[in-house]
Amino acid sequence: MRFFCGIVFQVRILSSDIKKHVGKTVKIQGWLHKKRKLGGLNFINVRDRRGLTQVLIEDKDEVEKLRGMQIGTVLTIEGTAADDDRAPGGAEIHGPKLTVEVPVTEEPPIEIDKPIDHKPENLDTLFEYRTIGLRNLQETAIFKVQSTVTKSIRDYFYKNEFTEIHTPKLLAAATEGGAEVFKLDYFGKESTLAQSPQFYKQMMVGVFERVFEIAPVYRAEPSATTRHMTEYTSIDGEMGFIDMNDLKSFLSGLLNYVVDEVWNEHETELKRWNTTKPVLPKEIPTISMEEIHEKYSKANKENSVGEPDLRPDEERWICEYAKKNLGSEAVFVSDWPASDMKFYHKAQADNPKLADRVDLLFRGIEITTGSMRENDYEVVLKQLKDKAGVDPKDPGFKYFLQAMQAGMPPHGGFGMGLERLTEKIVGLKNVKEATLFPRDINRLAP
């Protein structure tokens, strides 16, 4: 309460605190979320940032104030907090005095108080009315979880002495990718949008040793799939003076930490999606690609042995296998062929035909690729030429090579899509469902 010139102003009480004020007069503020009649009694639910408050309205004049008022109407309500086990949070408001702060007279164009079915044919409507549909608590839940995913990932980086960096997304030239790059006019010159902070984070290992960035990246992906978007939030980490075991330990710890934090904070939200807490051992198990091919081929009467990549069905199968047999819903896939390596990747020291790389699969899909980077300047030059077909004098690589020549320790890192991780944690089927305002070839608004 604020005291001013002898007048007592009620301070706003939030939904989850009503129970603490039972028997007292409280003021609440929020959005009309639901109106209903139950046995001749008028109830409304009021939504605030923490959830819902149930209000029982008996006075006819008060009921009258809500005539024609639709969901979304902004209300201030003063009334008495009362115990009621059937109300959200175990308490409700009785004898309310209502003030309509902002009337809403149009019905919402999308369901607000019942879950929206996320079947594929509904998604376009979901995104078209996103600014209002997100008020549905089922939708809000996804992004409350996502906020904590991001927070806990940063916590984990900080605990491990990473410095946060902000690298530019406006670049002079496309470097990593080929065709899938957005181009723009930059005062008469051509500029491209960053597809990843790969080179910057490697260069910054030479400065800070351990760096991370969580920021948007852009891919001019010309197809609309359940797995790709043209803009997403990339979680990038890079560390110096490590080896692959350190990187795997780091990623194991990271995923465990995120899952624990999210389940601690958001059991209510996760229950809305009937999702279970992922089973993860302290160290996520590693299986080589060849072993996966063999196991999969044996169990499924298929033959993937010798293939240089995993089939999507193999990714799903090995995750099921690991869940049943290794007590882990995540698995590292090791021993990728060096022939498919990016030029900045490093081959294994004792077997140069294999890349020093792991893919982390989680609940049926790859959520990140972790790799050791080549830190020998001469080898980087050679791989740039051999693997990327780039002349080392290409100005697009000037600064990266400058840094590589200035002394780079053994280093490695990973990049992970925030939206895909959120999708898997919540148990969704399309990465766009875990994106506030998704972007693909067909969608550039809202």
Helix (H, G, I), strand (E, B) or coil at 353: strand
Least distance from C-beta 104 to a second copy, angstroms?
4
Nearer to a second copy, 130 or 311 (CB): 130
Q: What is the DSSP letter of 203?
A: H
Least distance from C-beta 216 to a second copy, angstroms?
6
Least distance from C-beta 204 to a second copy, angstroms?
8
Residues 231, 28: Cα–Cα separation, whole Å: 38
Nearer to a second copy, 22 or 100 (CB): 100
- CA 207: distance to chain centroid? 28
Nearer to a second copy, 273 or 437 (CB): 437
Least distance from C-beta 436 to a second copy, angstroms?
6
Residues 375, 393: Cα–Cα separation, whole Å: 19
Nearer to a second copy, 40 or 395 (CB): 395
Residues 60, 42: Cα–Cα separation, whole Å: 10
- CA 395: distance to chain centroid? 35
Least distance from C-beta 72 to a second copy, angstroms?
3
Tell me phi and psi for residue 6, to 5 degrees: 80, -10
Least distance from C-beta 318 to a second copy, angstroms?
29
Q: Strand locations in 341-436, DSSP E?
A: 347-348, 351-355, 357-362, 365-373, 411-417
**How many Cβ atoms are within 10 Å of 20's Cβ, its own excluded?**
12
Q: What is the dihedral of CA 376, 378, 379, 380, to 10 degrees?
A: 80
**Residue 42 parent element (H or E):** strand 41-48
Radius of gyration of the chain (CA): 27
Nearer to a second copy, 239 or 319 (CB): 239
- Tell the burial category of 131 from Cβ atoms under 10 Å away from its Cβ (0-12, 13-18, 19+): exposed
Nearer to a second copy, 388 or 441 (CB): 441
Nearer to a second copy, 81 or 112 (CB): 112
Least distance from C-beta 421 to a second copy, angstroms?
13
Least distance from C-beta 162 to a second copy, angstroms?
8
Residues 172, 189: Cα–Cα separation, whole Å: 8
Nearer to a second copy, 276 or 442 (CB): 442
